């Protein structure tokens, strides 16, 4: 894989004030190799939320739903989801539900995040290599991915969400996570090839440039429209890239925001 570009990067509109503070993350002694400290007990004042206990309950629920990858379960238990939603929604942060994050976008259900990330990893023993995320949103999935990959590039087309994700992630000091402001439809060629690509928005088809930026042996997981586009039906799509070509697998129905081009 070629040498990655230096950071912070600029995608059309990113300025120096948009830099995400980085430092060396602490090691998670409870989950070797994840690179962050284990979940601490956090009391959200005035809301009575014991983050550690509620997150552990969420992890138990994910396991009961069929998530078996121990690193995925550990990462889901390490990232405090309530930090990525509005204060008024904190008490719903660990429920199996999507929540609004502004600008017509949502944070995916914990089960959907865990499912997609587990599919992306396909049973890998250690961390993935370089990962591209299309659609940073509030930054929650990017944080989870940062614990499961050596390097994560996450691109967001909405300036307001890009800024919100920066603020949400600041306290984690994730040195291997790079937030980009730009058009996710074009991917991010400077960081390619990627061991994995994951999308948080669904289109009629996978943009060819994503497949070009995916490394041979890599995997892409994204929602894709099925049937009539007006009906809004979507399903999870897996694309495995091999030396002989690409192999596509369509899985269960999902519901994501539509994939759009440009920035706003």
Indicate which residue of 74, 78, 108, 225 is catalytic.
108
- Cα dihedral: 76, 82, 86, 91 (round 10): 120
Is residue 236 within 8 Å of residue 226, measured between CB atoms? no
Please give the Cα distance from 191 to 129 (Å, whole number).
Answer: 11
The helix (run of H) or strand (run of E) holding residue 102 is strand 99-102
**Cα-based torsion angle of the residue sequence 187, 190, 196, 202 in order, rounded to the nearest 10 degrees:** -10
* Catalytic status, residue 261: no
Q: What are phi and psi of 48, to 5 degrees?
A: 65, 30
- DSSP designation for 204: S
The contacts of residue 160 (CB under 8 Å, 6+ apart) are 102, 103
Closest CA to 185 of 116, 260, 103, 237: 260
Distance CA 103, CA 105 (A): 6
Q: What is the DSSP letter of 247?
A: E
Q: Which two tokens stand for residue 247?
A: 């192999």
Quick one: 216 exposed, middle or buried, by C-beta within 10 A (0-12, 13-18, 19+)?
A: exposed
Q: Active-site residues: which are they? A: 108
């Amino acid at each position: 894989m070629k040498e990655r570009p230096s950071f912070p990067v600029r995608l059309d509109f990113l300025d120096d004030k948009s830099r995400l503070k980085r430092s060396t993350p602490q090691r998670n002694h409870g989950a070797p190799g994840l690179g962050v400290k284990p979940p601490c007990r956090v009391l959200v004042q005035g809301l009575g939320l014991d983050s550690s206990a509620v997150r552990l309950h969420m992890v138990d629920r994910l396991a009961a739903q069929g998530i078996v990858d121990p690193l995925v379960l550990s990462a889901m238990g390490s990232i405090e989801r309530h930090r990525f939603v509005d204060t008024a929604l904190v008490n719903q942060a660990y429920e199996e539900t999507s929540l609004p994050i502004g600008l017509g976008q949502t944070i995916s259900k914990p089960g959907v995040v865990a499912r997609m990330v587990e599919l992306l990893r396909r049973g890998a023993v250690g961390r993935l290599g370089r990962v591209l995320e299309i659609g940073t949103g509030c930054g929650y999935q990017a944080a989870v991915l940062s614990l499961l990959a050596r390097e994560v590039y996450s691109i967001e087309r909405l300036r307001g969400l890009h800024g919100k994700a920066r603020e949400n992630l600041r306290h984690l000091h994730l040195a291997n996570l790079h937030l980009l402001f730009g058009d996710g439809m074009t991917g991010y060629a400077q960081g390619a090839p990627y061991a994995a690509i994951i999308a948080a928005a669904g289109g009629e088809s996978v943009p060819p440039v994503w497949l070009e930026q995916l490394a041979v042996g890599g995997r892409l997981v994204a929602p894709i429209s099925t049937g009539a586009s007006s009906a809004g039906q979507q399903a999870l799509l897996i694309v495995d890239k091999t030396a002989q070509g690409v192999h596509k697998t369509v899985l269960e129905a999902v519901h994501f925001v539509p994939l759009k081009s440009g920035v706003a």
